[in-house]
Amino acid sequence: MRSTLFSVLLLLSASSVRAVSPAPNFDSRAFLNTAREAVSQNPMPELRGADQQVLEHVFRSYPKDRGECPESARKIAADFAAATGAETLGAVCLADGPRGFTIAVQYRAGGKLPLVSTMGRPSVSPSAGWESKQACEAALEEETARFKRNTGLTPAASYCYQEEYARKDEWTMRIDGFGTALSSPQLGGAYVFGKVLGHSRASFLAELRSGLERSGLDVSFVRYRASMAYGEIGVLYYAPERVRLESVEYAKVADAAQCAEQLDLSRAALTDANEAISYCGAMSVTGNYEVSYLFAGNARKTTSHYKKFDSYASCMADRESELEHFRGQGRSVVGALCGRTDAGWGIVFLNGK
């Protein structure tokens, strides 16, 4: 059995929040009197105590179609102040790049505000949940409401952008809030090996999303990204704690009919498992067909039987009696499958909880 663990539910904390000098340096880039400067019209107040710092939060790739950079900076500063209640000193334009503006908000606090964001760091799971700018922007209102409902926080900013090395059909939605979230956005993923049988891409993702929602997750998106030898699933969901997504292969067989039979047996046995989706996958390299599962949580473990068989038919003929014998020994097993082994064919028992 090959089990691949994907607990890559990312730390969605900010790498872009940093402390700057408590004494503002008016010769620095952030305070140069240029056409791109958009600081508050009020003079910067003096520090009120040794525990206070001037801190900065940076928004990168901010959309240019929302207005000129100084105008966008003023709006971001106002929204940040309203969302956080922090003493906001203003916002400045730092860069005008091909993917959008870089805007920094400065605020005063005893320490950096805890960031809660839908923006992940690069990983094995795709963080771009939308296939076009139009699709992403059409979902902004719904996803902002989802963010507020789950986190209990007011977003300081929300917009769509593309990462530097994103594909043409990969758009990311960034929603930033600050504070302690009731339930946080979590980004996770898994690999899909081989060709998924019995599904179109759309039906596979729809069934996977439904399975994740049955597990109690509030799902923002489920995305599939194809590569040479495998596919990557990216999932953005809300939960108080991260949930491990575990991809498991339970049996390798010779053809699609055998795989369908073993898949039915496994589904009948694993009725109380935290399954997100189960399917048969056709492996182009080995020629095997695999009974595959993706779990929202820990996968159900297996125990291999010592007895070996010379054919699929002989394994299936003894499967039920061997299962009853194993149960009679006091073992907690809920089902048994037949699959290929290095020595021919063998029985794999599906363990109980």
Q: Identify the band that residue 276 occupies on the pLDDT scale cut at 50, 70 and 90.
A: very high
Is residue 113 a contact partner of residue 84, using CB atoms and an 8 Å limit? Answer: yes
Select, from the ranges 79-83, 188-192, 272-276, the one with the highest average predicted confidence (pLDDT).
Answer: 79-83
Looking at the predicted structure, is the pLDDT value of residue 42 above 60?
no
Q: Look at 13 and 82; give whichever has higher pLDDT.
A: 82
Q: Identify the band that residue 330 occupies on the pLDDT scale cut at 50, 70 and 90.
A: confident
Q: Identify the band that residue 250 occupies on the pLDDT scale cut at 50, 70 and 90.
A: very high
Q: Look at 10 and 1; give whichever has higher pLDDT.
A: 1
pTM here is: 0.80
Q: Identify the band that residue 44 occupies on the pLDDT scale cut at 50, 70 and 90.
A: very low
pLDDT of residue 36: 35
Q: Look at 298 and 292; give whichever has higher pLDDT.
A: 292
pLDDT of residue 122: 54
Looking at the predicted structure, is the pLDDT value of residue 126 above 90?
no
